[in-house]
């Protein structure tokens, strides 16, 4: 079974631009989460989606948004890019089967390296 | 607010040595704890998952323990090899009223010297 895939793998953008990152979860997984990793802040939670609904959101400004499609693929968008948005953006999927409490393993993709100049 | 701490931040050992990485968390209301490995510039590879009701999990040369009441987990690596060199991250899964999230430690950067 193929793992979590993320596209593109690398991206260079200029301040003020916007960017869209894509994540395809493991087949059959309906839960997708996004994380930002920076040297200064470590790994921080951005969003969690389950069956096209955002279930949870981290402490990030409104410039960060996301969505999930009916095939469970997810996108995240960052508008008005700032230098501080340069990071590795990681997507994870899990096989949770409902929106209720669960304890499933999280499987991560290779990440998208975003550089803002 | 859940906080996860990993000690040490960095570790350098000779090949063949057994070693222990430590992880502590402040809120014991976790659903599970995962240990991950991250190679430079890459994504996270899941090593072991311990459910909140379990005490330990083993996979090959790796053994992870969980003491939820004291908020501690350890990752034991036996007979370390140069290929084990990587950053090791622990993360706890929380279920909040609005959903779930993983909270990560800062990681332990391990170097195994041949």
* Cβ atoms of A85 and A41 closer than 8 Å: no
**Closest residue in chain A to residue B42, using alpha carbons only:** A110
Band (A97; pLDDT cuts 50, 70, 90): confident
d(C-alpha B15, C-alpha A97), whole Å: 43
Tokens of A63: 């410039």
Mean pLDDT, chain B, as a whole number? 94
* Cβ atoms of A35 and A45 closer than 8 Å: yes
Give the tens place of pLDDT for each residue, A17-58: 999 999 999 999 999 999 999 998 999 999 999 999 998 899
B-proximal residues of A, 64-103, CB under 8 Å: 88, 90, 92, 101-103
Q: Does B98 touch chain A (CB under 8 A)?
A: yes
Q: Provide the percentage of residues in chain B whose pLDDT is more than 90.
A: 82
A43 closest CA partner among B72, B32, B101: B101
The neighbouring-strand residues paired with B77 are B19, B62
Q: Does B52 touch chain A (CB under 8 A)?
A: yes
Give residues with Cβ within 8 angstroms of B97, minimum separation 6: none
Give residues with Cβ within 8 angstroms of B111, minimum separation 6: B10, B11, B12, B13, B85
Output the pLDDT for position B1: 84
Contact B41 A88 (CB under 8 A): yes
A33 closest CA partner among A15, A48, A54: A48
Q: Does B94 touch chain A (CB under 8 A)?
A: no
Give the tens place of pLDDT for each residue, B40-94: 989 999 999 999 889 999 999 999 999 999 999 999 999 999 999 999 999 999 8
Peptide bond into B8 cis (omega under 30): yes
A100 closest CA partner among A66, A26, A35, A50: A50
Tokens of A20: 């869209």
Asked if the model's pLDDT at residue B8 lies above 80, the reply is yes
Q: Does B8 touch chain A (CB under 8 A)?
A: no
Contact A50 B99 (CB under 8 A): yes
The residue written with tokens 């994380």 in the block is A35
Residue B41 CA, chain-centre distance (Å), reads: 19
More confident residue, A96 or B71: B71
Contact B51 A103 (CB under 8 A): yes
Q: Does B54 touch chain A (CB under 8 A)?
A: no
Give residues with Cβ within 8 angstroms of A108, minimum separation 6: A4, A90, A91, A92, B36, B43, B44, B45, B46
Give residues with Cβ within 8 angstroms of B50, minimum separation 6: B32, B33, B34, B56, B57, B64, B65, B66, B73
Output the pLDDT for position B94: 84
């Amino acid at each position: 079974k193929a793992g979590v895939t993320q596209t593109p793998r690398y991206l260079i953008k200029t301040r003020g631009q916007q960017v869209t990152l894509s994540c395809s979860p493991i087949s059959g997984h309906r839960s997708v989460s996004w994380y930002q990793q920076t040297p200064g802040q470590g790994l921080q939670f951005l969003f969690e989606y389950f069956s096209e609904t955002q279930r949870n959101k981290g402490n990030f400004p409104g410039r960060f948004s996301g969505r999930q499609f009916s095939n469970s693929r997810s996108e995240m968008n960052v508008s008005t890019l700032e230098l501080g948005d340069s990071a590795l953006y990681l997507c994870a999927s899990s096989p949770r089967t409902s929106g209720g409490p669960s304890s499933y393993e999280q499987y991560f993709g290779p990440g998208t390296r975003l550089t803002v100049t | 607010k859940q906080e996860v701490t990993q000690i040490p931040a960095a570790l350098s050992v000779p090949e063949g040595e057994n070693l222990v990485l430590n992880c502590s968390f402040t809120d014991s209301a976790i659903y599970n704890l995962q240990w991950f490995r991250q190679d430079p510039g890459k994504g996270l590879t899941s090593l072991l998952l311990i459910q909140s009701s379990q005490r330990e999990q083993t996979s090959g040369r790796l053994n992870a323990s969980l003491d939820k009441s004291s908020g501690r987990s350890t990752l034991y690596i036996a007979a370390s090899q140069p290929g084990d060199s990587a950053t090791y991250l622990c993360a706890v899964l929380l279920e909040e009223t609005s959903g779930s999230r993983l909270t990560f430690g800062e990681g332990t950067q391990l170097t195994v010297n041949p």
